[in-house]
Structure 1
Amino acid sequence: MSSGQPVPQNPYPQQPQPTGPYPAPPPKSNTGLVLLIIGLVAIPVMLVCGGILVALLLPAVQAGREAARRMACSNNMKQIGLAMHNYHDAYGSFPPAYTVDESGQRLHSWRTLILPFMEQQALHESIDFSKPWDDPANQMAANTMIPAYACPSSAIDPTMTSYVAVVDPSAVMSGTDGIKIRAILDGTSNTIMVTEVASEDAVPWMSPNDISMPAFVNMAASGRGNHPGGGNVLFCDGSVQFMTENTDANVRSSLVTRDAQD
């Protein structure tokens, strides 16, 4: 029944529903797919290029590292040369190549004798020089590492050494006799007393073993060495030079003898 009152209008009128035709959806973008394809193609290319770049740079990096090791080796030998001269100043001659007992048995190396001049005074004092280097009484000293006695390019036990004297009656390191500088008639800058050897030829640093003249002359023929192309040698004036592996055998021999007339 109508009360006579006006019917209020709906404040929320219904929206008219579209009846078509409907608008077409926006076209899909292919940018993501393109970027994905580009990435899949670019990654292998980058990996290949990166590998090529590493292959090109690696030899240069290795050469730089070897140059640094060779310089460190040279510095080791210079330290040994300085110790040799300090020994000469203290005792009036370079050290003998080795010491012997009454029966002529070799006991100790020149490397042991120069320890006080290699900042190893305490180690020197701990050694019983009346007993062989490998006697149990000297075992602790023999197992001590001397950093300056190892070439950085060699792969040897820490108790071994790459630096050996060239021992020969005509050389500065002649055996049990200490040679004076004035006896080096060829001149200290022209006479070798210590050389480095390959890892395969390294010896225990305390042992009275070194290298003979024939072995030194024929070193190049062995094809072994710590550095590409040759090795360092220490001259009697304390200088260190790099001797190439193709150095003539006669030149090698003449550089070891202290008197060209020998």
Structure 2
Amino acid sequence: MSIQFACPHCGKQTVVADQYAGQTGPCASCGAQVTVPYSGTGTIGPPTGGSKGTSPLLIILAVVVVAMLACGGLLAAIVVPAVFSARSAAQRVNSMNHLKQIGLALHNYYDTHNTFPPAVVTDKDGKPLYSGRVLLLPYIERGDLYDRFDKAKAWDSAENLAVSQTMIDTFLDPARTTGGPFRSDYVFVTGKNTILEGNSTVRFADITDGTSNTVIAIETSQGPASWAAPGEWDVDSGTLPPSNHERVRLILYADGSVRPMDHAAAQQIIRAAATRNGGEVIPF
């Protein structure tokens, strides 16, 4: 079979065998480079470096890249909040565990002394010396610090300052974003008729409202600078201090349980729940 074609440069008609289809060579008339077409009659120019139009492959690649970027943005919008939410939930669980450790320490102290510790230890003149958290040290595996602490001196005395400036993980909320490493993010609830009222001692029999209905400690982002400092929350002082958690307040009850409570609800009922013998009905 023969192929007839015309030179695009001089118009010379040429007939060649089909075995030369696709090959390039000089025109017999003008000498210009021409390429033999594969079939039929036609005109074909010299080979070029490629089409001047946009490659379909490039268009496809561009569409894929744009789609990936769009999906990436959507994925980020979904994943990032989920990551923050998961982290907040994990911090809340860890914080609740710290409060449970404090609750267990309070119960172990009670088993040893047949009374709850005072929220604040005072001297004979009623001057605050240090927090009752110092008395819990043997029950949170920090008996070494308890033994070094001079119980007859203030928390910030020369004798006690080094111990008071020791970080204790149990007293730190994992969700905390401010404050030094020695502070306590968990404070006792004090005030009239509370379990840890002043320097008094209270027994289970005195909690007539029920241990599961009576608050004994809370978490806060405004705890004392040192866990040993007597910086508790007095229910008669007014509003609750700020929390380390966005949506809930973590509360330790006298039975050792820890429950999260909506901030608005906590503000409304915690004063009633703090008294040990008020007879209030708490809408939990």
- List gaps (5 residues or longer) in structure 1: 1-16
Go from structure 1 to structure 2 and tell me whether the alpha carbon gap of 1:207 and 1:19 turns closer, same or farther (over 3 Å shift): closer
Query: Does the 8 A contact of 1:168 with 1:174 survive in 2?
Result: yes
Structure-2 residue corresponding to 1:23 = 34
Structure 1 counterpart SS, 2:81: helix
Q: Does 1:174 align with 2:197?
A: yes
Q: Which deviations, in whole Å up to 9, do the C-alpha atoms of 1:200-225 show, x marking residues without a partner?
A: 4554211011111034x622xx7x32
- CA distance in 2 between counterparts of 1:231 and 1:55 reads 28
Structure-2 residue corresponding to 1:107 = 129
Structure 2 counterpart SS, 1:53: helix
CA-based RMSD of the aligned residues comes to: 2.4
- CA distance in 2 between counterparts of 1:178 and 1:49 reads 62
Structure-1 residue corresponding to 2:102 = 80
Query: Does the 8 A contact of 2:193 with 2:277 survive in 1?
Result: yes
Q: Does 1:252 align with 2:270?
A: yes
Aligned match of 1:218 in 223, 231, 239?
239
TM value normalised by structure 2: 0.77
* 1:93-242 correspondence runs (5 A): 93-155=115-177, 156-197=179-220, 199-215=221-237, 218-219=239-240, 224-242=242-260
* 1:177 Cα deviation after fit: 1.3
Letter in 1 for 2:239: N
Structure 2 counterpart SS, 1:136: coil
- CA distance in 2 between counterparts of 1:56 and 1:18 reads 64
- CA distance in 1 between counterparts of 2:70 and 2:226 reads 47
Q: How many residues align?
A: 241
Q: Which has the higher contact order (CA 8 A, sep 6+)?
A: 1
Query: Does the 8 A contact of 1:87 with 1:114 survive in 2?
Result: yes
Go from structure 1 to structure 2 and tell me whether the alpha carbon gap of 1:229 and 1:121 turns closer, same or farther (over 3 Å shift): same
* Percent of paired sites with the same residue: 34
TM value normalised by structure 1: 0.83
* 1:42 Cα deviation after fit: 4.1
* 1:86 Cα deviation after fit: 0.3
* 1:23 Cα deviation after fit: 3.3
* 1:41 Cα deviation after fit: 5.1
- List gaps (5 residues or longer) in structure 2: 1-24, 36-45
- CA distance in 2 between counterparts of 1:18 and 1:40 reads 40
* 1:71 Cα deviation after fit: 0.4
Structure-1 residue corresponding to 2:5 = none
Structure showing the higher helix proportion among its residues: 1
Letter in 1 for 2:274: V
